[in-house]
């Protein structure tokens, strides 16, 4: 039995409880939250046996083998390094860290410790993206020429999420002083991973433009200075020379969490669409190319990230997406910030 510690009991924590509850051989045995009383409340509501108000207390207790790190982005590094130093396997929420240097420190620490390390890039759970990658690698669309990728959200123009102007859970995402790196840092890692994973290729250079739109008088609401980027658009070159156009925005009206990826090659094209719950796959191949006709495909079911983490614990072989993969995506995010600031393309070393 794999005994798992849940670190952090915020909004995403319930999702992790649900995911791991359906995996034989895994049990969340304790939870941690530094807000007084919060861990105890969460433990009671979810039938978790033990709870702690500090990670130090949980590590001293030590009756767990692995941890889910569901803390806020800014404390991923310190908490993960503490867990790794204790020899614990770690399943961390994205982004791994706010910059590549910190992500690399975490990656090297995990690899040196020889423990299972994975990052919960949730859109890898889509059967469509997994099948698209397989088709690309099998040569179904020939040589890749162009990639179009987008992540569309609308919570800055829609109240279906709640009212961002009065709710801290949204306002902090607009303020760099509160640890936000904007839409690029929040969901950019998803669309960059989605695009390069589906294309089965790395980005070797990019040119990015980040925009922060006016949202309030004085661009401040209470303690929140609204300076984090709201939208990003970039062009990139892949290792093969293929051209990519990639965007993410919180101002795309009519969309909640919608990812799309189209891969155009010399022998056909593949399109992936997902909202994180339902995904669709279509292709234009063979004789359909001359007719511009797309056909819907039915991809096979795939293992979800939590299941892959459990399998890695069973086998002792690290799973994917790993810390190193997340660090590579953070390198692209850092490059996008640099490119936007200098208005120049950046090569990825």
For residues 203-210, average pLDDT = 98
> Residue 11: what pLDDT?
84
Say whether pLDDT at 226 is over 90: yes
Say whether pLDDT at 161 is over 90: no
pLDDT per residue over 311-341, tens digit each? 999 999 999 999 999 999 999 999 999 999 9
For residues 232-250, average pLDDT = 98
For residues 157-179, average pLDDT = 92
pLDDT per residue over 100-154, tens digit each? 999 999 999 999 999 999 999 999 999 999 999 999 999 999 999 999 999 999 9
Helices 323-342, 188-199: inter-axial angle, 10-degree rounding: 110
> Residue 123: what pLDDT?
96
Tell me how far apart the alpha carbons of residues 275 and 261 are, in angstroms, rounded to a whole number: 12
Q: What is the overall mean pLDDT for the chain?
A: 96
Say whether pLDDT at 74 is over 90: no
> Residue 135: what pLDDT?
98
> Residue 72: what pLDDT?
85
For residues 65-70, average pLDDT = 98
pLDDT per residue over 266-313, tens digit each? 999 999 999 989 999 999 999 999 999 999 999 999 999 999 999 999
The percent of residues above 70 in pLDDT, for the chain, comes to: 100
Tell me how far apart the alpha carbons of residues 33 and 206 are, in angstroms, rounded to a whole number: 39
Say whether pLDDT at 37 is over 90: yes
Say whether pLDDT at 63 is over 90: yes
Whole-prediction pTM value?
Answer: 0.94
Tally the C-alpha atoms within 13 A of residue 88's C-alpha that lie toward its C-beta: 29
Residue 349 pLDDT grade (very low, low, confident, very high; cuts 50, 70, 90) = confident
> Residue 41: what pLDDT?
97
Say whether pLDDT at 179 is over 90: no
> Residue 217: what pLDDT?
95
> Residue 169: what pLDDT?
86
Say whether pLDDT at 73 is over 90: no
Domains of the chain: 2-122 (3.40.50.720), 125-303+321-347 (3.30.360.10)
Q: Are 38 and 14 in contact (CB under 8 A)?
A: no
Q: Are 79 and 54 in contact (CB under 8 A)?
A: no
Handedness of CA 76, 42, 319, 185 (dihedral sign): negative
For residues 201-226, average pLDDT = 97
> Residue 147: what pLDDT?
98
């Amino acid at each position: 039995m794999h005994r798992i510690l849940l670190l952090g009991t915020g909004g995403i924590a319930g999702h992790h409880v649900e995911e791991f509850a359906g995996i034989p051989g895994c049990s969340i045995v304790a939870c941690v939250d530094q807000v007084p009383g919060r861990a105890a409340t969460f433990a009671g509501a979810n039938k978790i046996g033990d709870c702690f108000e500090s990670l130090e207390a949980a590590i001293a207790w030590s009756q767990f083998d692995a941890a889910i790190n569901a803390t806020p982005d800014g404390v991923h590094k310190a908490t993960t390094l503490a867990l790794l130093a204790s020899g614990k396997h770690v399943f961390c929420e994205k982004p791994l860290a706010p910059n590549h240097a910190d992500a690399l420190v975490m990656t090297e620490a995990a690899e040196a410790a020889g423990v299972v390390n994975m990052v919960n890039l949730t859109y890898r759970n889509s059967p469509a993206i997994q099948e698209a990658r397989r088709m690309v690698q099998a040569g179904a669309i020939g040589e890749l020429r162009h990639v179009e990728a987008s992540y569309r959200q609308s919570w800055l123009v829609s109240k279906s999420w709640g009212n961002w102007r009065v709710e801290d859970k949204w306002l902090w995402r607009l303020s760099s002083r509160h640890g936000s790196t904007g839409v690029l840092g929040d969901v950019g890692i998803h669309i960059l991973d989605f695009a390069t994973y589906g294309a089965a290729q790395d980005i070797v250079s990019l040119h990015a433009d980040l925009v922060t739109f006016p949202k309030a008088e004085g661009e401040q609401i209470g303690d929140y200075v609204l300076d984090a980027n709201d939208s990003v658009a970039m062009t990139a070159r892949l290792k093969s020379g293929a051209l990519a156009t990639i965007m993410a925005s919180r101002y795309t009206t009519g969309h909640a969490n919608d990812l799309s990826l189209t891969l155009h090659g010399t022998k056909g094209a593949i399109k992936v669409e997902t909202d994180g719950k339902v995904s669709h796959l279509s292709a234009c191949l063979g004789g359909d190319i001359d007719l511009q006709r797309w056909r819907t495909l039915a991809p096979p079911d795939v293992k979800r990230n939590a299941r892959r983490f459990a399998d890695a614990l069973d086998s002792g072989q690290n799973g994917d997406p790993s810390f190193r993969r997340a660090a590579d995506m953070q390198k692209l995010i850092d490059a996008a910030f640099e490119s936007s600031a200098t208005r120049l393309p950046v090569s990825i070393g």
